[in-house]
Chain A
């Protein structure tokens, strides 16, 4: 029995690629013009990716050592430019692929977010999505006048209202509101444009939106909830879910849980695609691939260890520098940051040292290493065992985010997957959402 096709997407942010890699080129500063990402988008579309997703955060982290040093030294959370202005030029350089930008429900106003997304949906001919995040760092909140973020679960209550407002604004112009009657001089029919008069506990908006929604109506919604509350939110709203797990059984369990929750919310589970992070390492030969794997994830390089520690610390808001690298992983840490990420990191590495844990932490996804055909085999096997829906390629900053790596995936791996009928060979629909939900 042949494996049904799955989806490929790429997870990145508008940040400095692997500037100190052998193949980093001039990307250390050149990326700020957006050109690196423009050429990347063209590559991905040629390879048959469903979408390119831009993660985002708005802080310079001080989680490690109480200063900005590590974050800036390794260009981790900062610098990060705003992904929204980048999307329109990426869309203009491509014809079919989708683009997802991250917007925080803790920092945006729902009206601005609804309007920006709708504008982008028009400009791209229906090829955008919104990755909904609630944000998890107090230091980011302090840039927006707050002392701290609300507690984790309340952030999802706020997000729920936020999404309701945004959807209502997108729906505030009925289809057909633009009549363009040259005889009577009517451009739009005001009886088909409605106020929303939303007044919730956290958000209020009168409406209507001052423009009709774009071709998709509601752009593709994407989410990455890992906690029970987060999973439920994702299952209720998202078309694409970003998940991270190196263990295939757990990947399968996560996907089954999301699909069950989606069904409970009255949705068709097939309208929710669960995509798992993957960082395949591919080379001409198996030996070269393993050598490359060791360079990328081996934790031999002190700079790499420091960088991975800083990355982990910033997401969890735990200062991992205070722990002995070669002592067993602590098991009782609490955070107001990404608790599910921290819990997962601790549980997964129980009994291992911190140093041993870091390589896998950096890899995020399942082990994928070898020649093109070996990695294609591995991916096919994983998707079969998980049940679907695909992978989200992620090249960690500072290690393999180079044009050369992108080409290995797009000109090496993807064509092999396509030959096997495992990924799309064309984009039969005009709208991103239609293509995403095609299979």
Chain B
């Protein structure tokens, strides 16, 4: 069964932090993480491989969910340190020419005017290659850094996100596309009749406008979103140009997820082809199938030997201290969270160890480049589209090269992924097929 061409993107898991520091191929990753060079190299490699975009994940707190202090996170450099993606994004776009650059910014941490302005500036500077990965945040610890006592409740955060999105779009369009006249004879730089206040007064935000800069090349940035809960999917279907999915259950579940997003998008009056659903994948690629499988076996053995490293993530995302549950007893259904609902739902009833093992086995793509390319084609043929979002927590240049210079050429030979960027703007490329 053959698949239609699909999209590739990269999820910069762990954000602008320590990517890899004490492994064989870490290089100087522990020391040099605060330099933008690794991200520049990644962006250039992925552009060479014709990826559509790269997301810089983000969160802005030092976690202390696991074991109720920050020790485990700081000693393993997990989710912290993490620097600001809006500072990294312009360097990446400056040193590339076609790939989309997508920083993550939270609607519960930013004010819409400030966010709209930063994204507008980035879109101008990148000549229309900027995206916004919309997150609502999921930790009280982040909220407490911003002067709140607690983070807003889960569904309310999406109500805030809806309004935030609407205000931002109004600001991005507060200058008509032809407002800049550059009429030297009359000394008129911009025509004020084409610049409008927005006078927005909602439940959460009040913004006068207009934005103090002209419409950027894309007008609105490309929106990416990763909501997996019912409310999150609703928001994504309404707003996103690309939805990130980590859904479990193989191709059948992926197809259901995608069909659901597309149906909901249609319900909002959108063309479902304007919403590209990309599925998280961490292919393990080697010279031969055997070498790749051996590598995968080493990864699994390491994870099995260090269950706490996996549980750190689960604790942080769920807001629950998994250090309190014995490794081999089922997690009780009385566990509750104000954080990632989907992840907790998946964990209840399993033991922590089982849950970790299961999350390790999601979407296995292991083999030589050709083997992995064939498997990806098979999955996409069944799911219907729209592509994959590559992520790897132990991120180093070697892994990037295995994907960009090994896997991608194999996909391209099969006619599955792009070999050229047709357009200069990010959204036009993303929606091309």
Q: Contact residues of A with B, CB < 8 Å?
A: 14, 16, 19-20, 28-29, 32-34, 57-60, 67-69, 71-75, 77-82, 84-89, 92, 107-109, 111-112, 115-116, 118-120, 122-123, 139, 142-145, 177, 180, 182, 184-190, 193, 203-212, 214, 303, 307
Per a CB cutoff under 8 Å, which of A14, A75, A119 touches B87?
A119
A210 near B82: Cβ-Cβ < 8 Å: yes
**Given known A89-B91, A185-B75, A211-B81, contact A68–B61 (CB-CB < 8 A):** no
Per a CB cutoff under 8 Å, which of B69, B82, B118, B127 touches A33?
B127
Instruction: Indicate the size class of the contact surface on chain B.
Output: 35 or more
Interface string of B383-406 (1 = CB under 8 A from A): 000000000000000000000000
Q: Determine if B184 is an interface residue (Cβ-Cβ < 8 Å).
A: yes
Q: Which residues of A contact B74 (CB under 8 A)?
A: 177, 187-190, 193
**Given known A143-B209, A185-B22, contact A82–B117 (CB-CB < 8 A):** yes
B21 near A112: Cβ-Cβ < 8 Å: no
Per a CB cutoff under 8 Å, which of A112, A144, A206 touches B144?
A206
Complex interface residues of chain B between 80 and 117 (CB less than 8 A to chain A): 80-84, 86-91, 94, 109-111, 113-114, 117
A88 near B90: Cβ-Cβ < 8 Å: yes
A75 near B189: Cβ-Cβ < 8 Å: yes
Per a CB cutoff under 8 Å, which of A28, A185, A203 touches B76?
A185
A57 to B212, CA, bound (A): 9
Per a CB cutoff under 8 Å, which of B82, B114, B147, B214 touches A203?
B147
**Given known A81-B121, A188-B74, contact A116–B187 (CB-CB < 8 A):** no
**Given known A67-B192, A109-B147, A188-B81, contact A120–B87 (CB-CB < 8 A):** yes
Per a CB cutoff under 8 Å, which of B118, B205, B212 touches A59?
B212
Interface string of B30-49 (1 = CB under 8 A from A): 11001110000000000000
Per a CB cutoff under 8 Å, which of A68, A80, A111, A193 touches B145?
A111
B16 to chain A, nearest CB (A): 7
Q: Which residues of A contact B343 (CB under 8 A)?
A: none
A112 to chain B, nearest CB (A): 7
Interface hub of B36, B180, B213, B214 (most chain A Cβ within 10 A): B213
Q: Which residues of B contact A67 (CB under 8 A)?
A: 192
A89 to B40, CA, bound (A): 12
B94 near A89: Cβ-Cβ < 8 Å: yes
A82 near B118: Cβ-Cβ < 8 Å: yes
In the complex, the chain B residue whose C-beta lies closest to that of A200 is B147
Q: Determine if B3 is an interface residue (Cβ-Cβ < 8 Å).
A: no
Q: Which residues of A contact B205 (CB under 8 A)?
A: 145
A389 to chain B, nearest CB (A): 29
Q: Determine if B420 is an interface residue (Cβ-Cβ < 8 Å).
A: no
Q: Which residues of A contact B188 (CB under 8 A)?
A: 73
Per a CB cutoff under 8 Å, which of A74, A120, A189 touches B189?
A74
A123 near B91: Cβ-Cβ < 8 Å: yes
Q: Which residues of B contact A119 (CB under 8 A)?
A: 16, 83-84, 87-88
A189 near B75: Cβ-Cβ < 8 Å: yes
A193 near B70: Cβ-Cβ < 8 Å: yes
A84 near B118: Cβ-Cβ < 8 Å: yes
Q: Determine if B245 is an interface residue (Cβ-Cβ < 8 Å).
A: no
Interface hub of A29, A116, A190, A214 (most chain B Cβ within 10 A): A190
14 contacts between A and B (CB under 8 A): A29-B180, A33-B127, A80-B213, A84-B86, A85-B121, A86-B125, A87-B87, A123-B36, A143-B207, A180-B21, A187-B76, A193-B74, A210-B61, A210-B82
**Given known A210-B59, A211-B80, contact A188–B75 (CB-CB < 8 A):** yes
A207 to B76, CA, bound (A): 19
A81 near B124: Cβ-Cβ < 8 Å: yes
Q: Determine if B62 is an interface residue (Cβ-Cβ < 8 Å).
A: yes
Interface string of B213-228 (1 = CB under 8 A from A): 1100000000000000
In the complex, the chain A residue whose C-beta lies closest to that of B116 is A143
A64 to B185, CA, bound (A): 22
Main DSSP-derived SS at the B contact region: mixed
Q: Which residues of A contact B180 (CB under 8 A)?
A: 28-29
Q: Which residues of B contact A144 (CB under 8 A)?
A: 111, 113-114, 207
B190 near A207: Cβ-Cβ < 8 Å: no
Interface string of B1-30 (1 = CB under 8 A from A): 000000000000000111001100000001
A21 to B134, CA, bound (A): 41
**Given known A193-B70, A212-B81, contact A111–B146 (CB-CB < 8 A):** yes
**Given known A109-B146, A210-B80, contact A190–B71 (CB-CB < 8 A):** yes
Q: Determine if B374 is an interface residue (Cβ-Cβ < 8 Å).
A: no
Per a CB cutoff under 8 Å, which of A20, A115, A142 touches B84?
A115
Q: Which residues of B contact A14 (CB under 8 A)?
A: 121
Q: Which residues of B contact A77 (CB under 8 A)?
A: 212
B208 near A123: Cβ-Cβ < 8 Å: no
Complex interface residues of chain B between 154 and 209 (CB less than 8 A to chain A): 179-180, 182, 184, 187-192, 195, 205-209
Q: Which residues of A contact B83 (CB under 8 A)?
A: 115, 118-119, 122-123, 211
A180 near B69: Cβ-Cβ < 8 Å: no
Minimum-distance CB pairs A-B, first 4 = A187-B77, A206-B144, A142-B208, A211-B81
Per a CB cutoff under 8 Å, which of B30, B34, B117, B206 touches A187?
B30
B31 near A193: Cβ-Cβ < 8 Å: no
A109 to B73, CA, bound (A): 25
B37 to chain A, nearest CB (A): 10
Q: Determine if B60 is an interface residue (Cβ-Cβ < 8 Å).
A: yes
Q: Which residues of A contact B262 (CB under 8 A)?
A: none
A85 near B111: Cβ-Cβ < 8 Å: no
Q: Which residues of B contact A207 (CB under 8 A)?
A: 145
Q: Determine if B210 is an interface residue (Cβ-Cβ < 8 Å).
A: yes
Per a CB cutoff under 8 Å, which of B17, B31, B179 touches A180?
B31
Q: Determine if B317 is an interface residue (Cβ-Cβ < 8 Å).
A: no
Per a CB cutoff under 8 Å, which of B31, B69, B87, B111 touches A88?
B87
A206 to chain B, nearest CB (A): 4
Per a CB cutoff under 8 Å, which of B31, B91, B191 touches A72?
B191
Per a CB cutoff under 8 Å, which of B141, B190, B214 touches A73?
B190
A206 near B141: Cβ-Cβ < 8 Å: yes
**Given known A14-B121, A187-B74, contact A210–B69 (CB-CB < 8 A):** no
Q: Which residues of B contact A85 (CB under 8 A)?
A: 86-87, 89-90, 118, 121-122, 125
Q: Which residues of A contact B144 (CB under 8 A)?
A: 205-206
Extra A-B contacts (18), CB below 8 Å, given A29-B180, A60-B195:
A28-B180, A33-B125, A58-B114, A81-B125, A82-B117, A82-B121, A85-B86, A87-B87, A89-B125, A108-B114, A111-B109, A119-B83, A122-B35, A122-B83, A142-B208, A185-B75, A210-B60, A211-B81
A118 to B91, CA, bound (A): 16
A57 to B211, CA, bound (A): 11
A313 to chain B, nearest CB (A): 15
B31 near A58: Cβ-Cβ < 8 Å: no
Q: Determine if B120 is an interface residue (Cβ-Cβ < 8 Å).
A: yes
**Given known A74-B189, A79-B190, contact A143–B113 (CB-CB < 8 A):** yes
B163 to chain A, nearest CB (A): 12
A72 near B61: Cβ-Cβ < 8 Å: no
Q: Which residues of A contact B189 (CB under 8 A)?
A: 16, 19-20, 28, 72-75
Q: Which residues of A contact B86 (CB under 8 A)?
A: 84-85, 116
In the complex, the chain A residue whose C-beta lies closest to that of B70 is A190
A108 to chain B, nearest CB (A): 7
A309 to chain B, nearest CB (A): 13
In the complex, the chain B residue whose C-beta lies closest to that of A211 is B81
A68 to B109, CA, bound (A): 30
A319 to chain B, nearest CB (A): 16
**Given known A73-B192, A79-B214, A210-B60, contact A190–B69 (CB-CB < 8 A):** yes
In the complex, the chain A residue whose C-beta lies closest to that of B188 is A73
**Given known A72-B192, A189-B74, contact A115–B60 (CB-CB < 8 A):** yes
